[in-house]
Amino acid sequence: MIAFLIQTLRIAVPYLFAAAGGIVSERAGVIALTLEGFMLTGAFCAALGSYYSGSPWVGIITGVIGGMVAALLHALATIRYRADQVVVGIAMNLLAVGVTRFFLRLAFDSSSNSPRIPGFGVSDVQSGVFSSLANPLVWLGIITMAAVAWLLYRTPFGLRVRAAGEKPEAALSVGVPVKRVRWLAVVVSGACASMAGAYLALDQHQFTDGMTAGRGFIALAAVIFGKWDPKRVTIACVLFAAAETMQIRLQSLQLVPSQFVEMIPYVLTIVALAGVVGRAAQPAALGKAVD
Amino acid sequence: MTNPAVQTVEAERRERWRARIEESILPPLVALLIAAVVGDILIIIFGQSPGEVFRQLLEGTWGNAYGFGQVIYKATTLTFTGLAVAIGIRAGLFNIGAESQLASGGFLAALVGLWLPAGTPAVIAILLCMVAAGAGGGVVGAIPGALKARFGASEVIVTIMLNFVVLALLNYIVAAHIHVAETLHTPEMHVGSVPRLTAVSALFAGSAANATFLLAIAAAVAVWWYLFRTRPGYELRAVGLQPDAAEYGGVHVGAVWARTMILSGALAGLGGLNYVLGYKHYYEEGFGTGSGFLGIAVALVGRNHPVGVIIAALLFATLSQGGLAVNALVPKQMVDVLTAVVIIAVATSVPEVRRALANARRARGTGNREPETTVNPGPSSQFPVPGSQP
């Protein structure tokens, strides 16, 4: 049972990081389709930093820098130049895939994975269950989500973020620099999501091509399913992770085909959007550019 | 016949055409220029000569028969997904589900080809496969369409989430029930294959190009006809431009959304025929990976016009095939980067170019009209805002 909980936690960590970023970005009015791309960029940059410096801590820093640079590009296109957030968001994900592959070949001369890098986790799965608690990023993930909740509801910046996402015109009229707030929110989301990527790379001791494998979208699903509220989003993340853990543990029993377990987050999100279990109301100005 | 009023009208019309052309051509050109610069930088980072790489890229695509055929083959799929995305954007909808609609269309077509007895006349078999492909994509498109019309659920999120659901479902069906042992594909179909072009003309030397490309052109013509010459097409564009005004004008906006998503899905689904009927004659997992997302790029660069879509499809097919041709010099992943850069650049330059053109016109003193309202090659909600409609 404890092993089950720990494994769930381990799977939930990247969701927590990325979803925390997603909440900040979406509450500020910028659609978080880019989480996947930020994660992948973060994972790759973390692998680079960790490999060349020999320290996973440096990897975290380079990973976060990478994610923030990607986020700056996204902010530049969507906020400064008012390009459509969906279009640019999808392109950012393609860009992350392309750029990481390109530089994977340039840096490590491989089209599939990096060499082994210094990391935190123990790659052996059995003994890794408990030792993963020694991974500082696990705790950081939990703290990040709590910090986002505090930021949103207990700080002036959080109030501005929410204003920028709900009623940007009203915020502007009382002097909130909506554009700057959105810039900051997007960069914060880039930093959070890239930590999720860094966690994956440092936990598995290498970067593999496309290693985020849709986790950014599961995080986005958690944000929507959790109605943009940190507490509920946390529950959604843990729920999705628990389903995955269950599937891994029961694999040998063949109770439910793994594909159906994979679908759970996405189906739940669609159901939530359709309003079957209480209408999921998104931030009113989500996706709208401001002048 | 020197009626000054007629002259003014004529001049105005010419001016409007010019503005229209400028606005639709300039952003893609700017984007391609930016992409070329980024491409040069990447090539130089990799220690190669840009001139040499671009020369080989052209030679490996338009320069030889096989490469040319492959470009046609890839452009065929991209035309379908590009049209699917474009027709959605015309109605103010963002279909990001072309990826799974394509797969499900291809899957149903392969199933029909498998179920039909071996002696079925080719015409009937192909027609049935087409219907199946359209239905396969249409059903997947209908879900976000209905949810949008009924609940106002963002079609962007629903189509993204559906991609995962549908692909996982197809994966399950194929893996658990009908795959050929040791592979990820269904058995070969008995009937319904369409001829490869290489059988007709040596021009296509062994490439995968096949008669489906005729269907792609027909689809483009049909979409043009539908959009610009029919009443539902007019309603569709009206909804894309201004849903509230369309509603006020008596258009049932929700119905148009639902209808458009079904059409869009069906178009993407038909794209599956290219691989299934024309190339491999079975459904294989992941056969269209990336084509749905590339369709977004195709629609954007093609400015959501069927003719533009075909041209853009050829362009991205060239890039994609060209990436393989230069893989020895630079990683083919460079093409993914360039594609993303093109999308970002087009999306960014559309509002910028519009503004710059308006300024230039004002400076010339000819543009005392509101440029945004008079010239409009695509919907003003060129990129619709998800969730902004009730």
Max mean pLDDT range (A111-120, A131-140, A253-262, B232-241): B232-241
| A84, A259, A288: residue with CB nearest B169 | A259
Residues B92, B226: Cα–Cα separation, whole Å = 16
Angle of CA points A270, A165, B96, to nearest 5°: 35
**The pLDDT of residue B365 is above 80:** no
* Runs of H (alpha helix) within chain A: 2-27, 35-53, 56-75, 85-108, 125-131, 136-154, 156-166, 168-173, 178-204, 215-225, 230-249, 258-274
Residues A110, B218: Cα–Cα separation, whole Å = 43
**The pLDDT of residue A202 is above 50:** yes
Minimal C-alpha gap between A120 and chain B (Å): 30
Stronger pLDDT, A251 or A122, i.e. the higher one:
A251
- The β-bridge partners of B210 are B196
Q: What average pLDDT does the segment A248-256 reach?
A: 75
DSSP A55: -
pLDDT of residue A128: 52
Give percent of chain B above pLDDT 70: 90
Q: Which of residues 247-286 of A touch B (CB under 8 A)?
A: 257, 259-260, 262-263, 266-267, 269-270, 273-275, 279, 282, 286
The structure tokens 């696990």 sit at A138
Minimal C-alpha gap between A122 and chain B (Å): 30
- The CATH architecture that domain A2-274 belongs to is Orthogonal Bundle (1.10)
Who's near B364: CB < 8 A, 6+ residues apart?
Answer: none
Number of helices and strands in chain B (H, E): 15, 0
**Longest distance between any two alpha carbons in chain A, whole Å:** 60
Chain A contact set for B296 (CB, 8 A)? 87, 90
What number of other Cβ atoms are within 10 A of residue A260's Cβ?
15
Minimal C-alpha gap between A81 and chain B (Å): 6
DSSP B92: T
Minimal C-alpha gap between A31 and chain B (Å): 9
pLDDT of residue A130: 61
Max mean pLDDT range (A2-11, A62-71, A117-126, B173-182): A62-71
Residues A238, A220: Cα–Cα separation, whole Å = 14
**The pLDDT of residue B266 is above 70:** yes
Sign (positive/negative) of CA torsion A83, A89, A91, A95? positive
DSSP 3-state of A202: helix
Chain B contact set for A274 (CB, 8 A)? 147, 150-151, 153
- Indicate the fold that domain B4-374 takes in CATH: ABC transporter involved in vitamin B12 uptake, BtuC (1.10.3470)
Confidence of residue B375 (pLDDT cuts 50, 70, 90): very low
**The pLDDT of residue A88 is above 70:** yes
Confidence of residue A127 (pLDDT cuts 50, 70, 90): low
| A33, A97, A273: residue with CB nearest B147 | A273
Neighbour-count burial of B357, counting CB atoms closer than 10 A to its CB (0-12 exposed, 13-18 middle, 19+ buried): middle
pLDDT of residue B203: 67
Confidence of residue B114 (pLDDT cuts 50, 70, 90): confident
Residues B310, B75: Cα–Cα separation, whole Å = 8
pLDDT of residue A122: 57
pLDDT of residue B373: 40
**The pLDDT of residue A145 is above 80:** yes
**Residue A35 has which token pair?**
């989480």
Residues A156, A158: Cα–Cα separation, whole Å = 5
Whether B351 sits inside 8 A of A83 (CB atoms) is yes
Per residue in B48-80, pLDDT (tens digit) is: 888 888 888 888 888 888 888 889 999 999 999
**The pLDDT of residue B372 is above 80:** no
**Residue B159 has which token pair?**
């189509």
Phi, psi of B272 (to 5 degrees): -65, -20
**The pLDDT of residue B192 is above 80:** no
Mean residue pLDDT of chain B comes to 85
Q: Which of residues 25-64 of A touch B (CB under 8 A)?
A: 31, 33
Mean residue pLDDT of chain A comes to 88
Least confident of A186-200, B20-34, B164-178, B287-301: B20-34
Residues A35, A60: Cα–Cα separation, whole Å = 17
Q: What average pLDDT does the segment B99-117 reach?
A: 92
Nearest CA in chain A to B176: A257
- Among A26, A152, A42, A166, residue whose Cα is nearest residue A89: A26
DSSP 3-state of A273: helix
Whether A94 sits inside 8 A of B340 (CB atoms) is yes
Nearest CA in chain B to A91: B340
Q: What average pLDDT does the segment A141-153 reach?
A: 94
pLDDT of residue A280: 56
Confidence of residue B220 (pLDDT cuts 50, 70, 90): very high
Confidence of residue A17 (pLDDT cuts 50, 70, 90): very high
Q: Choose the mutation target among A87, A220, A276 for the interface with B, i.e. most B CBs under 10 Å.
A: A87
